[in-house]
Amino acid sequence: MSKRKFGELILKETDYLSALETQEALFNHKVNLKKEEKDGPNILLLLEHPHVYTLGKSGDTGNLKVKPEAIGATYVATNRGGDITYHGPGQMVGYPIFDISHFELGVRQYVELLEEVVIDCLTHYGLKGERISDASGVWIDAHSSFPRKICAVGIKVSMGITMHGFAFNINTDLSYFDHIIPCGISDKGVTSLEKELGRKIPMLEVQNLFIDKMKTHFGVIDLSL
């Protein structure tokens, strides 16, 4: 795997639509550079959102069971893959704007590598994160009678350029998931680092750990833009 630079851009709590506008600008710029056979940095956005429900392009609006404004949330239909999910404070959301050809990856390999980064973060905290063959993301007790998703993954790829990404529950208020059928899956649960460990985890601690694991798996040698 070749080593490539990517730039790290960590944002504080940012509303979803503003973050989406930033993503799309970076994504379109990178696509245009590639059309011109030019190169540019691979950029990772790490942030938190205010309470919002987002629906993937193939999602079912019936999986949203409440009017978002009734519980202080908003709703956005997006162009990522997957169904409905929740984003909110205490959740680390990551949007890699990567050219996956830089890392000699196909789309499935890329998703699996993102999941592996999260799995390594969980191992650091003494938790076993796993995949489920018929569901994306990272799960706790994946092969038990009641697996719990701790990280959702949903992406868009065009010309090998990625956007959207993952949502890793750190100190997330999980009650907001009660108002949806998360990712359209009704027979599984959701969890967070806080719930599994019985204590709050500093977000900056997890961000730094995640970046270290990204460097390991994506062969990153530089974090400067």
- Domain assignment of residue 132, given as a range: 6-218
pLDDT at position 8, please?
A: 57
11-33 per-position pLDDT tens digit: 567 899 999 999 999 999 999 99
What would the two tokens of residue 193 be? 């680092």
Q: Is 1 inside a domain boundary? A: no
Catalytic pick among 183, 190, 206, 214:
183
DSSP letters spanning 169-214: ESS--GGGGGGB-GGG-SS-EE--HHHHHTS---HHHHHHHHHHHH
153-186 per-position pLDDT tens digit: 989 999 999 999 999 999 999 999 999 876 655 5
pTM of the model: 0.90
Q: Is 223 inside a domain boundary? A: no
CATH of the domain at 140: 3.30.930.10
Q: Is 124 inside a domain boundary? A: yes
Residue 183 appears among annotated catalytic residues: yes
